[in-house]
Amino acid sequence: MKFLSVCSGIEAASVAWHPLGWESVAYSEIEPFPCKVLQHHYPDVPNLGDMTKFKEWPNADVDIFVGGTPCQSFSVAGLRKGLDDPRGNLMLTYLAIAKRYRPNWLVWENVPGVLSSADGRDFGSLLGGLAILGYGFAYRVLDAQYFGVAQRRRRVFVVGYLGDWRPAAAVLFERHSLQGHPAPSREKRKTVAASTSTSPVYGGSDPNTSDTVTSKWAKGSGGPAGNECGLFVAQPIAIQDIRPVEKMQGGKGWNDDGTAYTIDTWATQGVAQPIAFSGQMSNPQTDVNMTQTLGAKNPMAVAVSSGHGWWSESDGTAQTLRAQDSITKADTLPIVGMAVRRLTPVECERLQGFPDRYTDIQPKGKATPDGPRYKALGNSMAVPVMAWIGKRIQEVDAICKTQQNK
């Protein structure tokens, strides 16, 4: 199938539909950076530029016409001028292009705010225009988070089919969703939730109780022999005064008043572990029940060490609690203070379903600016949603052609 794309951006439609064997006839994009992305990935597909000049475009056989006209005039975050905004009027230009090329299928996308713009009259203008052109249509709000990407992104999708509304509805609505029968409710249970139970193989004496306070496998549980531990959360953190080493030689790991030795690095036994991030070997120079993540040699730990060897300071503090290594003088703290980390361009590409570095189009050795990448990705459609719509169109179109040939 051949498709024409307008307001193409960085072409989520092509990324989604080329794997189906579909062919891009032409694009229409005017923003400089997206145009460079299109030229980089699809050098053989013409970019026709400004969609308002469609009358100058060449003739072409088009099976599918797709576009997400600018949403700013309809968004609840904007001024909501609707069709009074030139960008909103591109909705009507979309209809004019559909009239010229007369494809069997149409796909149009926008923000949910279009449904209430001008009390629904703007969206009604689109649907009324489709009807005048002879297209049957269906529309639905789809959320990208249900199509395999980690973001909530709700968008209105309109699918049109020339001469009949039923194929369009079959694309956007699965058969079971049209029957009106709600899914049966689950039977209520009185047992504990699954997240608080554990199998005896993980050391739980009671199968309905989670064994989360030991770093060792229970005897006879089937776990590894020796001091290897499971992925358990160990004793909680207790902040208290340093206690004499002599009081810790008993190996019990806590004081007479019940508090744990958590800020003393000189102890040779029984330092209580705060949180175990790893299920690896325990430190042979400390108590056998101490998890390896507490050792100062472990780069992931905020260490409470045993005081043996180079990883303890002369003042009794653990090496990883200092900002600089006393031997190498190298910085040891990766983060000082608090900060909010913004998403990287690659992470934004993944959130929209694009391949990694899809928008990184500069020659090797030169960095592509982040700003244009963020903007282009934010304006794009979610690739997995477009892929789902494409597969549904392909399936329904095959059925339509079979019925027409009978």
Active-site residues, by number, are: 71
Using CB atoms within 10 A of its CB, is residue 240 exposed (0-12), middle (13-18) or buried (19+)? Answer: middle
> Can you count the helices (H) and strands (E) in the chain?
8, 6
Whose structure tokens read 């494409």? 390
- C-alpha span between 402 and 399 (Å, rounded): 5
Q: What does the CA dihedral 331, 334, 337, 338 come to, rounded to 10 degrees?
A: 170
Walk across the sheet containing 135-143 and list its strands.
23-28, 2-6, 64-67, 105-110, 154-162, 135-143
Instruction: Tell me the two tokens of residue 62.
Output: 């088009």
Whose structure tokens read 């027409």? 404
Task: Assess contact for 136 and 166: CB atoms under 8 A.
Answer: yes
Q: What is the DSSP string of 325-351?
A: -TTT--B--S--S--PPPPPHHHHHHH
Task: Assess contact for 149 and 117: CB atoms under 8 A.
Answer: no
Task: Assess contact for 20 and 64: CB atoms under 8 A.
Answer: no
Degrees to nearest 5, angle at CA 312 with 310 and 318:
140
Task: Assess contact for 28 and 5: CB atoms under 8 A.
Answer: yes
Identity (one letter) of the amino acid at 299?
P
Which phi and psi angles does 164 have, rounded to 5°?
Answer: -160, 135
Instruction: Tell me the two tokens of residue 170.
Output: 């079959």
Report the chain's C-alpha Rg in angstroms. 31
Task: Assess contact for 85 and 72: CB atoms under 8 A.
Answer: yes
